[in-house]
Structure 1
Amino acid sequence: MIKFFVVTGFALVLANGWVTWWLWRALDHTGWLRPALCLTVAVLGASFPLLYKLGGDSAPEVWLLRAGAFWLGMLFYVFCLVLLMDIWGLASRLWAVPPTTPRWGATLMVVGLPLVIGCASWLNAACPVVRQYDLTIHTSNAVSRQYTHSPLVLGVLADMHLGRIITAPRLVRAMDLLAPYKPDAILYVGDILDDHVLVDVEAMAAALARIQPRLGHWAVPGNHEYISGPIDDSLDILRRSGMRVLRDQWHVLDNAFVLAGRDDISGHMFSGSPRKSLKEILADLPPEHGDLPLFVMDHQPSSLDEARTAGAVLELSGHTHYGQLWPFHWVVENLYENPLGLLIKNGLHSVVSAGTGTWGPPMRNTSRAEVLVVKVHFTPTAN
């Protein structure tokens, strides 16, 4: 984890430094505009990593954090354009084409095009949609008769990342999107919190109270429940908001299925001890529940084979954000067997959400922000 942050920090310093250096060269002989724009880039480039880590909670700090997060989303595209401009400049010198100073057109494109992309991506991220999946699960006659007239309806939220950038009104919007579907249970598959600074537990509880699912609100921790602060504090926030947390535990719901909630796979980097295997989690499951279908909540979809081996029929995950910003969806496609949506393989239905919120840049352009409605149709297993 430390190595990841060191490498990421170095990359951010390099990218912001290159952009600042390019602007300084491009805006020669422009008076005060050159230092003003370069200083703005330097401040925005430093604001998100520093303020996110330091936990500033004053209004100026929060708004500067948000501005830095927005710049972070633009930075990749600005850096790519700057790199192309430098390559073009090098080629022009090789071909003896005299450069123009200042390069107004190039500067406007370097700043303007990523700004347009950023605004469109922000709007895309701020307006979640409902994504619906209809699944057929084979089970015993008793369970299938119980749901003869209507399926089991699960509302699923992942990667809300509530904190200083995304606040409780986003959770209210998600609840309002789910309400018309009258879910039997709402499942929160990790990264509900982004940090503990300015988290409004009462507002979260009020949002959850807008829907009273008969089987309750259930949650598992994600990696950001660890990153945001002490894990016990994160779990306490979730519980006080009205969620029942399953952390390497199981619970039988409606006498129709076993819901197993896994600790996040990254937890050992913070706690020093690995999470339990599914076999260990289910070791004390009474024999009378052994034939019930097994549903698994696991924040990261990185253990699908383990779920298949344990006999799970449904696993709900998030974490991937489907890259969140182009072209990083190609990265998650190579990291995970199922980076997004529904994958049915060897009896396991894996459903991965792109997430309801965002991390870092409040933007999305590889997918829509979403809440899931998973309708499970139970059918008798053929003899």
Structure 2
Amino acid sequence: MIASGVLSRLLFFLFLIAFISVYGFINYYIGKRIWKGIFSHIRFVKKKVYWIIFWIISFSYIIAKLLSKYPNKLVLFLELVGSLWLGMLFYIFIVLIFIDLVKLILKKLVKHRIEGLLSNSKLQISLSLVVTAFLIGLFTFGIWSANTVKVSSYNVTVDKGFKDLKIVMVSDIHIGNVVDDKRVRKLVDKINELNPDVVLMVGDIIDSELEPFIEYNIKDILKDINSVYGVYAVLGNHEGFNEELDRVVKEYEAAGLKVLQDEAVLVNDNFYIVGRVDTSIARGNSSTRKAIDDILKEVDKSKPIIMMDHQPVEFDKVQEAGVDIMVSGHTHRGQIAPINLITSRIFELDYGHMTKGSLNVIVSSGYGTWGPPIRVGSQSEIVKINLQGEENEGNR
């Protein structure tokens, strides 16, 4: 056990060194290009001062995360600056790689005529300003998309007799120093406008640390959710990052959330809600999730079964077990394009609605953000599901 613990720490340390090395190299490459393209042409900007400020910005997100247990204005500022830089870094890197590829191709095709053109300082400055304007526009749009909440509605019919049910589902709130009490208040107000029968919170309610949840008094804000049958929740991989998982569950339950962990509950003798343990939490605890059949052993399958699982996985098993609706999040729909191309390849469904036999799967892009506080190619979202049974279908 001791040897295993030492090995785990050693592997983590090696990973950390590798990550910082790669991250540092990418930042150096971009910092050098920014200096050459813009700031080297501004007389009053000193090179040493530029690099000091650049490295502080580059590592501010990592510093903020290390200090996230002690939320204050400085940590908040560092996290905001750092998270914005992460998004900027991503897109600057893509743009610079694209420019370098174009330069390489042009050099091969028109070798003699292009050398002088590429070394023209006025052209370099103009190109740098165009790229800067594009990135500012992209980020402005990204911040708007992350802060403008849309409500996605789905009408789902199940072959079971019961009255209509209005479900409001939200995932990936990521409460922390970026998604703060004001954003959570906005979420609660929006949920209440929809007059839900039941509210489902499908994991990653906090970003990682519990302290901002307590510091911003999120508990009292969540208590203001108005729902006929209450608020049910599951944990996601970001809750799993927290070393005090039991404390997280207690805080959630004190906020009025009924946290389900591989269990099913009958609500109003009318429908079931099932909550799964997240796959990453099970791995982290060196345990396994219960088989879905074991969870549903005592369930009356003549009633609708609604299942929450943070990650959209195991659709076939869920369908075979007789679940009617499965709701998930986790993917953020990539959050910033073109990462959505990756999530759409990793997951059978990374966003939207699909059916597998009698199973309806709905995956949300989530409410909050992780890392960069922007969304490009996705939008902050609350999901409304109008669930209807055959009883109501026959009366239409």
TM over 0.5: yes
Describe the shift of the 1:86–1:290 C-alpha distance in structure 2 as closer, same or farther (beyond 3 A).
closer
Indicate how the Cα distance of structure 1 residues 77 and 295 shifts in structure 2: closer, same or farther if over 3 A, else same: same
C-alpha displacement of 1:10: 4.9
Aligned length: 371
Q: Distance in 2 between matches of 1:5 and 1:153?
A: 46
1:105 alignment partner, one of 110, 126, 132:
126
User: 1:327 maps to which residue?
Assistant: 338
Instruction: Report the CA distance between 1:204 and its aligned residue.
Output: 2.3
Structure 1 position 180 matched with structure 2 position 193:
yes
Preserved CA contact (<8 Å) 2:202 2:328: yes
Residue 70 of structure 1 pairs with residue 84 of structure 2: yes
Say if 1:317 and 1:108 are closer, same or farther in 2 by CA, change over 3 A.
same
> Cα gap change, 1:112/1:12 in structure 2, threshold over 3 Å: closer, same or farther?
farther
Q: How does 1:8-87 map to 2 (within 5 A)?
A: 9-26=20-37, 27-28=39-40, 30-33=42-45, 35=47, 36-55=49-68, 56-87=70-101
In structure 2, the residue matched to 1:225 is 239
CA contact 2:334–2:342 (8 Å) conserved in 1? yes
| C-alpha RMSD of the superposition | 2.5
1:138 and 2:165 correspond: no
- Could you say what secondary structure the match of 1:356 adopts? coil
| Cα distance, 1:70 vs structure 2 | 0.8
Distance in 2, matches of 1:13 and 1:319, equals: 28
Aligned equivalents of 1:81 and 1:34: distance in 2? 26
User: Do structure 1's residue 190 and structure 2's residue 203 form an aligned pair?
Assistant: yes
Structure 1 residues 193 and 4: alpha-carbon distance in aligned structure 2, compared to 1, 3 A threshold: farther
CA contact (8 A) 1:135 1:376 kept: yes
Cα offset, 1:88, TM superposition: 4.9
**Letter in structure 2 aligned against 1:97:** G
Larger deviation, residues 329-338 vs 102-111: 102-111
Give the 5 Å matches for 1:1-383.
Answer: 9-26=20-37, 27-28=39-40, 30-33=42-45, 35=47, 36-55=49-68, 56-88=70-102, 91=106, 94-95=111-112, 96-98=115-117, 99-101=119-121, 103-140=124-161, 144=162, 147=163, 151-194=164-207, 195-200=209-214, 203-283=217-297, 285=298, 289-380=300-391
Answer with 152-161 or 87-96: which moved more.
87-96
User: Residue deviations 1:89-142, cap 9 Å, x none?
Assistant: 5545943325123732232234332222112101110121111111111114xx
Q: What is the letter of the counterpart of residue 29 of structure 2?
A: W
SS of the residue corresponding to residue 371 of structure 1 reads strand
Q: For the residues of structure 2 that align with 1:349 and 1:20, how far apart are their CA atoms?
A: 48
1:369 and 1:158 mapped to 2: Cα distance?
10
Q: CA-to-partner distance for each residue in 1:314-357, whole Å, 9 max, x for gaps?
A: 00100010000010000010011111111012111001111011
Distance in 1 (CA, whole Å) between partners of 2:364 and 2:226 is 22
Within 1, Cα distance between the matches of 2:16 and 2:312?
22
Q: Distance in 2 between matches of 1:201 and 1:341?
A: 34
> TM-score w.r.t. structure 2 length?
0.86
Cα distance between partner residues in 1 of 2:17 and 2:326:
33
Question: Taking structure 1 as reference, are residues 12 and 113 closer, same or farther at Cα in structure 2, changes over 3 Å only?
Answer: farther
Contact map agreement 1:164 1:199 (CA 8 A) in 2: no
Q: Distance in 1 between matches of 2:325 and 2:156?
A: 9
Q: Distance in 1 between matches of 2:195 and 2:35?
A: 57
Change (3 A) 1:41 1:51: same
2:33 aligned counterpart, secondary structure: helix
Amino acid at match of 1:333: S
Name whichever of 23-32 and 181-190 sits farther off. Answer: 23-32
Distance 1:205 1:214 in 2: 19
CA distance in 1, matches of 2:328, 2:350: 10
Do the aligned partners of 1:156 and 1:372 also contact (CA within 8 Å) in 2? yes
Gap change, CA 1:29 and 1:206, over 3 Å in 2? closer
TM-score normalised by structure 1 residue count: 0.89
Q: Could you report, residue by residue, the CA deviation over 1:153-201 in whole angstroms, capped at 9, with x for unpaired residues?
A: 1111100000111112222212221223211111100000012232237
Change (3 A) 1:79 1:41: farther
The aligned residue for residue 8 of structure 2 is none
Change beyond 3 A, Cα 1:88–1:339: closer
CA contact (8 A) 1:201 1:241 kept: no
**C-alpha distance in 1, partners of 2:324/2:22?**
41
How far apart, CA to CA, are the structure 1 residues paired with 2:133 and 2:276? Answer: 44
Between the aligned residues of both structures, percent identity stands at: 26
When residues 107 and 54 of structure 1 are mapped into structure 2, their CA distance, relative to the original with a 3 A threshold, is: same
- Structure 1: any 5+ residue segments left out of the alignment? none
Separation in 2, partners of 1:73, 1:348: 36
Greater mean deviation of Cα atoms: 317-326 or 118-127:
118-127
Corresponding residue SS for 2:116:
coil
| Unaligned segments of structure 2, at least 5 residues | 1-10
**Of 203-212 and 87-96, the range deviating more from structure 2:** 87-96
